[in-house]
Amino acid sequence: MSDHSTETRADGSHIGRSQTRFEDQALLRGLGRYADDLATPPGTLHAAVVRSPHAHARVLSVDVSEALALKGVRAVLTGEDVKRWAHPFPVGVRGAPMEHWCLAVDKVRYVGEPVCVVIAEDRYRAEDALDLVRVQYEPLKPVIDPEKAAAEDAPVLHDAVGGNVVNERHFRYGDPDQAFEDADHRVSIKVRFPRNSCTPIECYVVVGQYQPATGVYDILSNFQGPYALHSVMARALNVTSNRLRLRTPPDSGGSFGIKQGVLTYVVLMGLAARKAGAPVKWVEDRLEHLQASSSATNRVADMEAAVDADGRVTALRYDQIDDCGGYLRAPEPATFYRMHGNLTGAYGIRNLAVRNRVVLTNKLPSGLNRGFGGGQMYFALERLMHQVARQLNLDPLEVMRRNLVPADAFPYRTASGALLDSGKYADTVDLALRDGGYQELIQRRDRARAEGKLYGVGLCAVVEPSISNMGYITTALTPEQRRKAGPKNGAVSTATIGIDPLGGITVHVSSTPQGQGHQTVVAQVVAEVLGVDPASILVNVELDTGKDPWSIASGNYSSRFAGAVAGAVHKAALQVRARLANIAATMWEADAERVRFAGGKVFIEDGPSLGFHRVAGTAHWSPALLPDNESGGLRETAFWTPPQLEAPDDDDHINSSLCHGFIFDYCGVEIDRVTGEVHIDRYVTCHDAGRLLNPMLVDGQIRGGFTQALGVALMEEFAYGEDGSFLSGTLADYLLPTAPEAVEPLILHTETPSPFTPLGAKGMGEGNNMSTPVCIANAVADALGRDDIQLPLTPSRVRGLIGIDEPPAPEGLEPLAAPRAGGPALQARDSVVVPASPQTVYDTVLDPETLRAIIPGCHALELEGENQYRADVTVGVGMIKARFAARVRLSDLDPPHSLRLSGSGDSAMGSASGSAHVTLVELDNGHTRLEYVYEVDVGGKIAAVGGRMLQSASKIIIGQVFNRLAQRLTGKPVGGGLWQRLRALIARLLGKGDAS
Amino acid sequence: MHAPAEQRSEIELELNGETRHGRTEPRTQLCDFLRHDLGATGVHVGCEHGVCGACTVLVDGVASRSCLMLAVQADGRRIDTVESLARDDVMNDLQQAFSRHHALQCGFCTSGILMSCVEFLQRVPTPDEAQVRDMLSGHLCRCTGYTGIVRAVLEVAGQRQSGESQQNASENPNDV
Amino acid sequence: MKAASFDYVRASSKKEVLQLLHEHGEDARILAGGQSLMATLNMRLTQPKVVIDINRVEELNRIRNESGYLAVGAAVRQVQLTDRAELAREVPLLAKALPWIGHFQTRNRGTVCGSVAHADPSAEIPLCLVTLGGSVVLESLKGKRREVPAAEFFQGLLTTDRQPKELISEVRFPLAQDGTDYRFQEIAMRHGDFALVALALCLRADGAHLGVGGVADRPVAQTLPLGDELPAALNTLAWSLGAQDDVHASAAYRRQLVRELGQRLIEEPSHARPR
C-alpha cells in the first residue's frame, strides 16, 4: 500500500491527489468543536426523557407532580403540551392516517418511545426526576415479526389506519409474466435482512431555544440532513419554515445516516425550551441511542428469477416487506425507493415485477443507514444470483458475467427507469479477478476442501447509486396521488466562495460532513481552479438555515458529496475565476481568456502578473478599477442540479439516483467446524466510482464501510424479544467489530468518469455496506452448501447450519423446559419439596401475611380486591436491584391442587411481569412437591442491558419465592435446590466424588 | 475523604501539567468533570459504560476509562488528556502519523485511542500488529476500519526505535 | 445515564472499610477498580447510599506467595498480575487466562477481587479460582474471618456467599503443582467479550479437571476421566450446566462447545489458542 501523504501528482494538480486532511490538526489535538463542546447560553437547562418500557401500551395517565417537586427540576413537557403547541410529523405516504407525535399522546408503540421530557438544572438531576414521573400503562399485545404484522389478525398499532400495512405498491416493467412462462428455470429464494445500525460513536445532541417575541425556534443539533426534513420539523413545530432556524456544529462524531433520526428530538427540544422558558440541552446517552434513535429497516424478501438454460436471467420478481417500526418516520418508506431504479442491479434484465409492502411493528422507527436500501436489496438479489448458479449447476461467476450490462450500452436505462451513467462492468470484473488473484483463491479453496476444511468463495456485483433524486420517494405514491401533490425531483446542491479584502478565501458548503473530509476536498477543488495553496483556504461546513444558502437536498447522505457538492464548489470557483479574470483583463487591457491562475498569482503567460490577493482585493478596495459589468465585492454562490433527475413518470419509471458506481467483490472464508467461527481468508473489493478526487479519502471510506458491513455480516443485530423488548441495549450487547476482528480488504480501483457530474466523480463510500454482507453470505453458503443463510452469521448460528448432532442427555439431566422460541419471554419449570400436606401448603399461600413474607424484597402489600394485592417490591440479583410498584394476584384456584400466582409492575428500570402455575403433588410420606411452571416478560432498561442474564435472574427470583414458602412452612432453609440436586446427580453419574 | 451526596466537594488534580481545582458531587463521572468543569472537551463520551473507549485518559500515566471513574477519585491524581500531546502547536509523532495514515475520520474516538497508544508504546515499545490490534480492542472506531490506526502505531514504534538506536549510537563515545 | 446520588468515602485503612461496611451493610458498595460497579451505577441498576473507595488502602494492595497459594488483595489490579513475571510459574492457569479478560484499558483498573465479588458467570477469574480449588477470604468488623472455598462462594448469577457487612479482603489461588498441565481456552463473539464458553483445564496423567465458564449460572469445575470414557463424561458435564439460549448463542451450541472444545483442549494442546 502506498503512503498517500507523500503522493503528489505529476501535473501538480490538486484534484485527484491524496491530500492529507486539513481537519486532522484540530481533531487530533482534542480541539474539535462537536455539538456538546459548544458554549450554551447562560441559564441553559438540561433534559432527560421518560421512555416507554413497553413495546405496545395505552398511556392511561401521566403524573409529573413528584418530579416537579424535586429540587432543581424546572418543568416537565408532556403529551398534552405537545398536542397544544405542535402537530404530528407529516407522513410521506397518503391514505395512512397515522399520527406520529414527538411524544406519545395516546399509545406507546416501541420500547424507548419518549413519553415526557424532564427539564432540570443539570442532567444528573433531570435523571433523578425521571424516576419520579408516574406513568400508568395498559399493556397491549405487541407485534414484532413483519410478516405476522401484515396478517389480518395482527394487533394493530394505529387504530385509525386499521391495519399495519401502511403502503402497498405493485409495479410491472416489461412483461414479467410472459418471461416467467417462457423460462427454462425458475429459481426462488426467501431472505430476511436484520435490523442493524452504523452507530456513530457520538450520539445525538440538541440545544433548543425558543424566542417568544418572533416565534422562532432556534435549534442547534448534529443533524445530518437531508434538509427536506427541515419542512417536516417546521410542520411538526407548527411554524412557517423560516421560523425554524436549524444550525449544525462545526464537527460531528459520525453519522452514517443515523443522525437523520435526530429530527424528532429537534422538535421535542424546541418544545421543551418553550415549556421551560429557557434554552434546553439534551445529550442522548448510549442506552437511549441504541433503543430509540434509528436503525436500518429490516426486510423480508421473496425473490424469483426466470432463467434460460444458459443462466441468463430474463425476469425478476420481488415480493418485499419493509418493517419501518412503530411509525413511518420521514423519509421512510425510502428504504425501498432509493434502490427502485436499480432493482435489476448490475444486470441487463428487462422484465421486472415488484410488490412492496410497508408494515409497522412495535420496534423503533427505521431510517437512513449507510448503504440505505442497498444492503437489503443486494442481499436478496445477489443471494438469488448465487442460487441460480447453484440450481443450474453453473459457476456463479459465469452466471454474473452473462447477465452484466454490456459496456457499449451506457448510458443504460434500466427496466425500472434508472439511467446508469457510465461503467465497464465486464472489464472491472476482469480487473478484479486478475489483480485480486481469483484463480489462486479458487485453488486455495480446493486445497482446503481436500484437507477436509469448510471453505467457501462468495462473489457479488453491485451498482452503487449516489446523489439521490429528491423525487424518488414519491414512487411510493400512485401516479394519481403524485399528480395531486405536484412533481418532485432534482438534487440541488450549493456552495459559496467568499474572498475578503486581503484575498483570504472562505468556502461554505451545505454538506454537513460527519468526518468524511469534505473540507479538504473542497479546498483541493477551489485551489485547483484559483491556483492557490489549498492549505490557505478555509472551508466552513456549519449550516445555519437562517443565513446560509441551502435547499432540500442539502446535507450528508446518498453519497452526494463528490458528485454534487464538489461539483457545485467547482461551479462557484469557476464563477469567481471568471470575475477575477475579467477584473485582471480590464486592468491589463487584455483578453480575459488569456488570464491564468497558478502559484498564488494571476497572470498572463509572458505578460503581467499580480498576486492573487491583489487582484481579488481590487473588488473591495478599488471599485473604480473594475470593469463596467462588475459591481464590487467578491462572493459567489452556485446552485447546481442535474437535469437527468426527473420526477417518476406515469408508468412509475424513476431515475432514483444520478450516478451509479460499480463494485465487484469476492472473498474466501474458512469456517471452524467446531466453533462455527467464520474466518475471512481474503476479501477483494474492486470499485469504479468515476473520477477519484482524493484517493486516500476514498480508500478510507471503503475500509470504514467495509468494516461496518463485516459487523452486519457477522455480529450486529438489533434483537427484539417476541414480547417487543429490546435486547441490544448496550455496546456489550450490540457488537461492533473491533481491531482484532477487522479484516484488511484488498482494494482495487478503475475510473470511468460520470458524464453527468461537473468533475466526473460519482458518489462512493456506501458500496461495501451493500456488497459485503451478501458477499460473505454467499461464501458461507458455498462453504456449507446451504441455502438458508441468515445474518448475522454468529458462531452459534453458523454452527447450527453445520449441524449439531447432540448426544442425548443422561437420564435426569434432560432440560427442564424448552424456552419459548426467541426473546426473553422466559418460560421454565422447577420444583421444591416441603414437609407439609397440600392443604396446609395451599392455605399458607392464600394467607396475605405469607404472601408478603415470601415475595422477596416486599416492603408493603395491600389488599386491593379478592386475592389481588398492590405491592411495593425491591427485587434483583447481586448488586442489581429495582423497586417495583407491583400488582400481585392469585387466580385459577383449585384447592388444594393448583393455583396461579402472577405479578406485574413498573420500575424506573423497566417493566416486568411474571406468572407461575403451581401444582401441589402429595408424596407418599405426606409431604408436598410444589411444581411450578413460570413465564416472565421483562421490558425497558432491564431487558435492554441485561439480556444475557435474564434467564438466570428470573430463575433466581422465582426460585426465591418458592424457597421462602418452603422455609416458612418448615421454619428453616430448604436444601435440595436444583443445583444441589444436579451436583449429586452428576457425581452419581460419573461415579466420582462431589462435583466442584 | 468523605464527600456527602448532593454536595460539591473541592478536589485538586494535575491536568496536563497544570494544577486545577473544582467542586464536584460524588456521583459525577470524571469525564463529565474534565469536559464541563475543566474545559478538556477533547475527552469524548461515547457510551458511559466502559465499552467504547472514547473517554480514555491517563490516570497517573495509566490508560483508564474516565466514564468508569468518579471525579472525586481523581483528587490528588495526575490526569493527562489528548490536549497534552501537542507541544507549542506542533503535533507529536503519533498525531502526525495518524494524519499521514488517515487514521481518523470523524475524530470522535481518536482522543481516547491516542491516550491508550501513549501508554501502550511505553509498555510495549516494539509491538507486532497483533499486539497493536489487541490494545485497540478496547476502543470502538466506526469510521476507519482501524487500518490507518494500526499502521500509524506500528510506524511510530519503528521510528522511535530507530531514533533511539541512533541516539544510543551517537551517545556511544567509541562511535566516532 | 448518570448515577443516582450517594455518599462517597475514600477509606485509608482496612479497618475503616470494615467499619463502614458494618455501619451501612447492604446500603454500601465497595469501589475498587470500578469496571463493573461504575457502569451499573451510571445505568442506575444499583443505587447504594454509600460508595466506599478502597483504591488508596495500601494494605489491601498486596500480592503474597505463601503456604502453597498466591494471595491477591482486594485492591490489586489485574494489570499488576499480568506484570508479575513469576505468575506464569506460580499460577500458570491464571497467567493464561488474564489476557482474555476485557481489554488492556480495563485490566489497568479492574481488580482481581472485584471480578470475584461481581460473580459474572462468564468471568475468567472466578473460573480459574473454582477450577484451581482456590478460596475467598472474607472479613468483617465483628464476625470471624472466613475462608470460603471458591466452589461454595459462587452461588449463582451475580450471587455469592459474601454477607452484606463482609469485605472480600483477598482471594487465594493454589500454586502450580508438578505434573499438571494448565490450559485455558475461550470462545467469545469478539476479542475481550464475555465468554460464550470458557474452559480452564488442569490436566494430570490420571485425569482432567475441567472448569467451564459462561454456560451455567456460575463457574463449574469437574474431574473427568481420560481416554474412552471422556466423551460420555463431557456430555454429562455439558448437559448438567443448564445452558440457556440468549441473543448471542443457543444452549445447544454452548453444550456442543463444552463437549468438542473440551475434548480438543484435553487431547490437543495446540488448540489452546494463546492471546
Q: Of A287, A288, A674, which has the smallest distance from its Cβ to C260's Cβ?
A: A674
- Contact flag C244-A715 (C-beta cutoff 8 Å): no
Q: Is A363 in contact with A723 (CB distance < 8 Å)?
A: no
The pLDDT tens digits of the residues spanning A80-107 come to 999 999 999 998 887 678 999 999 999 9
- In our burial notation (b when 16+ CB lie closer than 10 A, e otherwise), range B113-127 reads bbbbbbbbbeeeeeb
Q: Domain limits of chain A? A: 28-160+201-285, 405-469+655-805, 492-640, 826-990
- Proportion of chain B above pLDDT 90, given as a percent: 92
Q: Supply the DSSP string of chain C, one letter for each residue.
A: --PPP-EEEE--SHHHHHHHHHHHGGGEEEESS-TTHHHHHHTTS---SEEEE-TT-GGGS-EEEETTEEEEETT-BHHHHHT-TTHHHH-HHHHHHGGGSS-HHHHTT-BHHHHHHHT-TT-HHHHHHHHHT-EEEEE-SSS--EEEEHHHHEEETTEES--TT-EEEEEEEEPP-TT-EEEEEEEESSTTSPEEEEEEEEEETTEEEEEEESSSSS-EEEEE--GGGHHHHHHHHHHHT-----SS--HHHHHHHHHHHHHHHHH-GGGS---
C85 and A CB contact within 8 Å: no
β-strands A635-640, A298-307: how paired? unpaired
The pLDDT tens digits of the residues spanning A389-430 come to 999 999 999 999 999 999 999 999 999 999 999 999 999 999
Q: Is C137 in contact with C169 (CB distance < 8 Å)?
A: yes
> In this model, does residue B26 exceed pLDDT 80?
yes
- Contact flag C255-A806 (C-beta cutoff 8 Å): yes
Q: Is A366 in contact with A720 (CB distance < 8 Å)?
A: no
Q: Is A428 in contact with A688 (CB distance < 8 Å)?
A: yes
Task: Report the C-alpha gap between A956 and A935 in whole angstroms.
Answer: 13
Q: Identify the band that residue A1 occupies on the pLDDT scale cut at 50, 70 and 90.
A: very low
Q: Of B50, B62, B137, which has the smallest distance from its Cβ to C191's Cβ?
A: B137
Specify the DSSP class assigned to residue A478. -
Q: Is A203 in contact with A284 (CB distance < 8 Å)?
A: yes
The mean of the pLDDT values for chain A is 93
- Contact flag B68-C9 (C-beta cutoff 8 Å): no
Q: Quick check: helix, strand or coil at residue A481?
A: helix
Q: CA end-to-end span of chain C, whole Å?
A: 33
Which of A125, A286, A743, A996 should we substitute to test contact with C (largest number of C Cβ atoms within 10 Å)?
A: A996
Work out the number of other CB atoms within 10 angstroms of the CB of residue B28: 22
- Contact flag C249-A794 (C-beta cutoff 8 Å): yes
C129 and A CB contact within 8 Å: no
- Contact flag C106-B72 (C-beta cutoff 8 Å): no
B143 and C CB contact within 8 Å: no
Q: How many helices (H) and strands (E) does chain B have?
A: 5, 6
C6 and B CB contact within 8 Å: yes
Task: Report the C-alpha gap between B164 and B171 in whole angstroms.
Answer: 10
Nearest CA of chain A to the CA of C38: how many Å? Answer: 12
Q: Identify the band that residue A821 occupies on the pLDDT scale cut at 50, 70 and 90.
A: very low
The predicted structure's pLDDT at residue A830: 83
Q: Quick check: helix, strand or coil at residue A900?
A: strand
Nearest CA of chain B to the CA of C239: how many Å? Answer: 33
Q: Which residues of C touch A733 (CB under 8 A)?
A: 247
β-strands C28-31, C50-53: how paired? parallel
> In this model, does residue A663 exceed pLDDT 80?
yes
Q: Quick check: helix, strand or coil at residue A465?
A: strand
Specify the CATH class of A405-469+655-805 in words. Answer: alpha beta
- Contact flag B137-C109 (C-beta cutoff 8 Å): no
Specify the DSSP class assigned to residue A20. P
Contacts 24+ apart (CB under 8 A), A1-5: A3/B100, A3/B101, A4/A695, A4/A696, A4/A699, A4/B100, A4/B102, A5/A696, A5/B99, A5/B100, A5/B101
Cβ-based neighbours of A553, under 8 Å, separated by 6 or more: A226, A227, A228, A468, A470, A490, A491, A492, A493, A560, A564, A641
A878 and C CB contact within 8 Å: yes
Q: Domain limits of chain B? A: 9-83, 93-165
The predicted structure's pLDDT at residue A438: 98
Which of B90, B99, B147 should we substitute to test contact with A (largest number of A Cβ atoms within 10 Å)?
A: B147
The pLDDT tens digits of the residues spanning A5-16 come to 434 455 679 999
Residue C230: closest C-alpha in chain A: A990
A121 and C CB contact within 8 Å: no
The predicted structure's pLDDT at residue A744: 96
Q: Is A921 in contact with A929 (CB distance < 8 Å)?
A: yes
Q: Supply the DSSP string of A137-195, one letter for each residue.
A: EEE------HHHHHSTTSPPS-TTT-SSEEEEEEEEES-HHHHHHH-SEEEEEEEEE--
C260 and A CB contact within 8 Å: yes
- Contact flag A124-B27 (C-beta cutoff 8 Å): yes
Q: For the residues A261-283, what does the mean pLDDT come to?
A: 98
CATH architecture of A28-160+201-285: Alpha-Beta Complex (3.90)
CATH architecture of C181-271: 2-Layer Sandwich (3.30)
CATH 3.40.630.30 fits A492-640, yes or no: no
C4 and B CB contact within 8 Å: yes
Task: Report the C-alpha gap between A85 and A103 in whole angstroms.
Answer: 12
Nearest CA of chain C to the CA of A805: how many Å? Answer: 9
Work out the number of other CB atoms within 10 angstroms of the CB of residue A162: 10
- Cell numbers describing residue A396: 456463479
Nearest CA of chain C to the CA of A531: how many Å? Answer: 48
Which of B8, B11, B27, B72 should we substitute to test contact with C (largest number of C Cβ atoms within 10 Å)?
A: B27
Nearest CA of chain C to the CA of B102: how many Å? Answer: 24
A556 and B CB contact within 8 Å: no
Q: What ipTM was reported for this prediction?
A: 0.96
The predicted structure's pLDDT at residue A987: 56
Instruction: Please report the residues numbered 176 through 205 in chain C whose beta carbons come closer than 8 angstroms to any beta carbon of chain B.
Output: 190-192
Instruction: Please report the residues numbered 159 through 188 in chain C whose beta carbons come closer than 8 angstroms to any beta carbon of chain A.
Output: 159-160, 187
Q: Quick check: helix, strand or coil at residue A299?
A: strand
> In this model, does residue A633 exceed pLDDT 90?
yes
Q: Which residues of A touch C51 (CB under 8 A)?
A: none
The pLDDT tens digits of the residues spanning B140-173 come to 999 999 999 999 999 999 999 998 777 666 555 4
Q: Of B3, B75, B133, which has the smallest distance from its Cβ to C7's Cβ?
A: B3
Which of A20, A21, A28 should we substitute to test contact with B (largest number of B Cβ atoms within 10 Å)?
A: A28
Residue A24: closest C-alpha in chain B: B99
Task: Report the C-alpha gap between A965 and A833 in whole angstroms.
Answer: 10
pLDDT top residue among B102 and A910: B102
> In this model, does residue C112 exceed pLDDT 90?
yes
C144 and B CB contact within 8 Å: no
CATH 1.10.10.10 fits B93-165, yes or no: no
- Cell numbers describing residue A440: 489462486
Instruction: Please report the residues numbered 82 through 141 in chain C whose beta carbons come closer than 8 angstroms to any beta carbon of chain B.
Output: 99, 102-106, 108-109
Lateral strand order in the sheet of C50-53: B2-3, C7-10, C50-53, C28-31
Q: Identify the band that residue A965 occupies on the pLDDT scale cut at 50, 70 and 90.
A: confident
Q: For the residues C203-213, what does the mean pLDDT come to?
A: 96
Nearest CA of chain C to the CA of B83: how many Å? Answer: 19
Q: Of C3, C40, C249, which has the smallest distance from its Cβ to A880's Cβ?
A: C40
The predicted structure's pLDDT at residue A833: 86
Superfamily name with CATH number, domain B9-83: Beta-grasp domain (3.10.20.30)
A790 and C CB contact within 8 Å: no
pLDDT top residue among A873 and A638: A638
Q: For the residues A593-615, what does the mean pLDDT come to?
A: 96
Q: Identify the band that residue C275 occupies on the pLDDT scale cut at 50, 70 and 90.
A: low
The predicted structure's pLDDT at residue A973: 55
Q: Name the one residue in this structure whose C-alpha cell is 471525579.
A: B71
Neighbour-count burial of A170, counting CB atoms closer than 10 A to its CB (0-12 exposed, 13-18 middle, 19+ buried): exposed
For residue B94, give the H/E element and its range.
helix B93-100
- Contact flag B98-A28 (C-beta cutoff 8 Å): yes
> In this model, does residue A822 exceed pLDDT 50?
no
Q: Identify the band that residue C134 occupies on the pLDDT scale cut at 50, 70 and 90.
A: very high
Work out the number of other CB atoms within 10 angstroms of the CB of residue A972: 8
A740 and B CB contact within 8 Å: yes
Q: Of B48, B75, B139, which has the smallest distance from its Cβ to C42's Cβ?
A: B48
Instruction: Please report the residues numbered 33 through 62 in chain C whose beta carbons come closer than 8 angstroms to any beta carbon of chain A.
Output: 37, 40, 43-48
Task: Report the C-alpha gap between A201 and A253 in whole angstroms.
Answer: 6
Task: Report the C-alpha gap between A46 and A281 in whole angstroms.
Answer: 5
Residues of chain C with CATH 3.30.43.10: 7-53
Cβ-based neighbours of A665, under 8 Å, separated by 6 or more: A432, A459, A460, A461, A462, A683, A684, A685, A686, A768, A771, A772, A775
CATH code assigned to C7-53: 3.30.43.10
* Crossing angle (nearest 10°) for helices B93-100 and B110-123: 120
> In this model, does residue A881 exceed pLDDT 90?
no
The phi and psi torsions of A430 (rounded to 5 degrees) equal -60, -45
Q: How far is CA A822 from CA A111, A793, A801, C248, C251, in A?
A: 17, 17, 17, 11, 12
Q: Identify the band that residue A982 occupies on the pLDDT scale cut at 50, 70 and 90.
A: low
Residue C5: closest C-alpha in chain B: B5
Q: Supply the DSSP string of A389-428, one letter for each residue.
A: HHHHT--HHHHHHHHBPPGGG-SEE-TTS-EE----HHHH
Task: Report the C-alpha gap between C38 and C41 in whole angstroms.
Answer: 5
Task: Report the C-alpha gap between A807 and A176 in whole angstroms.
Answer: 50
Q: Quick check: helix, strand or coil at residue A22?
A: coil
The phi and psi torsions of A829 (rounded to 5 degrees) equal -135, 160
Q: Name the one residue in this structure whose C-alpha cell is 456521583.
A: B27
What's at B34, amino acid-wise? L
- Contact flag C5-A995 (C-beta cutoff 8 Å): no
Q: Identify the band that residue A979 occupies on the pLDDT scale cut at 50, 70 and 90.
A: low
The predicted structure's pLDDT at residue A816: 59
* Crossing angle (nearest 10°) for helices A566-588 and A612-621: 80
Residues of chain C with CATH 3.30.465.10: 58-174
Q: Of A286, A696, A704, which has the smallest distance from its Cβ to B49's Cβ?
A: A286
Question: Nearest-CA neighbor of A852 among A815, A886, A801, A813?
Answer: A886
Question: Nearest-CA neighbor of A715 among A740, A684, A744, A745?
Answer: A740
| CATH number assigned to the domain with residue range C58-174, chosen from the 4 options 3.30.360.10, 3.40.50.1460, 3.40.190.10, 3.30.465.10 | 3.30.465.10
C64 and B CB contact within 8 Å: no
Touching partners of B (3+ C-beta pairs < 8 Å): A, C
- Contact flag C39-B63 (C-beta cutoff 8 Å): no
Half-sphere exposure of A94 (CA within 13 A, CB side): 11
B10 and C CB contact within 8 Å: no
CATH code assigned to A826-990: 3.30.530.20
Nearest CA of chain C to the CA of A955: how many Å? Answer: 10
Q: For the residues A514-532, what does the mean pLDDT come to?
A: 97
Q: Name the one residue in this structure whose C-alpha cell is 407461575.
A: A916
Q: Of A286, A908, A986, which has the smallest distance from its Cβ to C240's Cβ?
A: A986
- Cell numbers describing residue A39: 458554549
The pLDDT tens digits of the residues spanning C33-73 come to 999 999 999 999 999 999 999 999 999 999 999 999 999 99
* Crossing angle (nearest 10°) for helices B147-171 and B110-123: 40
